[in-house]
Amino acid sequence: MSSPVRATVVQASSIFFDTPATLDKAEKLLKEAAALGSQLVVFPEAFIGGYPRGHNFADQSPRGKESFRKYHASAINVPGPEVDRLASMARKYKVYVVTGVIERDGYTLYCTVLFFDPEGNYLGKHRKLMPTYRERLVWGFGDCSTTPVYDTPYGKLGSVICWENRMPLLRTAMYGKGIEIYCAPTADSGDTWVATMRHVAMEGGCYVLSPIQFCRRKDYPPPPEYLYSPTEEDVTPDSIVWAGGSVIISPTGEILAGPNYEGEGLFTADLDVRVEIPKAKFWFDVVGHYSRPDVLSLTVNNRPLLPVTFRSSPSKIKDDEMDECKDV
């Protein structure tokens, strides 16, 4: 049986183009969450590396190209030294850590979530399957080889990123893997996001944890490198660029923490998978008694989809095979 867990979602801004400083900020926030007794801490989408709001990387001018070069340089390799540091933080504060990063794989970037356990082990990652709108100019597409769900003492832990949560088939795949603590880091601070998260919690019969960045204009580079508006005349350093709205929701759709649109902060709730999920599943188990596999089913390709595959030839052909070749 799973144990209760105190969970925290982090609502805070990246430090754009400064990954070491963002990692320092992450450690400060982890320390604060651990002081609250948290055993699971979830950071927003693209927290390490930054979300590219306001940057026109499609601009083919020298300025646009240099902006992307700096964004690429701010991303992290997985594995790599930044991953090692995040693992050491998880071990130091004895918490499970789930965090959004910008992953650099050669010259392609991915919007990725990384998982760490309290012993400081890097568990694995989820790459965003479907970047949204302008994100497609910046990020590559993931595949279902990186849609893990991990067994923890507190329940089965996994993540779906931002508008992937609007993909019914992906949600169904995660329900099929038995997810119980459903992490949904996002860049969506709109009015409808909380409703989406409540729907996911009730549909999946799972806890939903959705951290969102809260950013002011001063958290981003100055103009002209970054332009929040065409003239910047209508903004001040304290103008809100990204409004937050982080939430934690129970399997029955009850809001346990948040939403907050006022500033950075930590939002914490106690989760008990063993008590609350059976109550929710009694009414509706989307991949159990409420499914109809005789008429509706889903097949998921969870193999890596690689652009180049190399097949090696045998270094030595058996003598009898050589003789057969001679006889032909």
**The two structure tokens encoding residue 114:** 């990384």
C-alpha neighbours within 13 Å on the C-beta side of residue 317: 8
Kindly report the pTM of this predicted structure.
0.91
Residue 45 is among the residues annotated as catalytic for this protein: yes
d(C-alpha 10, C-alpha 26), whole Å: 9
319 SS3 class: helix
Largest distance between two CA atoms of the chain:
85
Cβ atoms 12, 67 nearer than 8 A = no
d(C-alpha 100, C-alpha 112), whole Å: 6
d(C-alpha 90, C-alpha 116), whole Å: 7
Interstrand relation of 207-210 and 247-249 (parallel, antiparallel or unpaired): antiparallel
Catalytic residue selected from 32, 45, 66, 82: 45
Cα 67 to chain centroid, rounded: 24
Q: Is the peptide bond before 251 cis (omega within 30 degrees of 0)?
A: no
Q: What is the per-residue pLDDT across 191-211, written as a single tens digit (0 to 9) for each? A: 899 999 999 999 999 999 999
Would you give per-residue pLDDT tens digits along the chain (328 residues)?
A: 789 999 999 999 999 999 999 999 999 999 999 999 999 999 999 999 999 886 666 677 777 788 889 999 999 999 999 999 999 999 999 999 999 999 999 999 999 999 999 999 999 999 999 999 889 889 999 999 999 999 999 999 999 999 999 999 999 999 999 999 999 999 998 889 999 999 999 999 999 999 999 999 888 888 777 776 666 777 888 888 889 999 999 999 999 998 999 999 999 999 999 999 999 999 999 999 999 999 999 999 999 998 898 888 666 555 555 555 555 4
Sorted by where each starts, the structural domains of the chain and their CATH numbers stand as 5-327 (3.60.110.10)
d(C-alpha 196, C-alpha 215), whole Å: 22
238 SS3 class: coil
Strand order in the sheet with 149-152: 149-152, 155-159, 181-183, 207-210, 247-249, 255-257
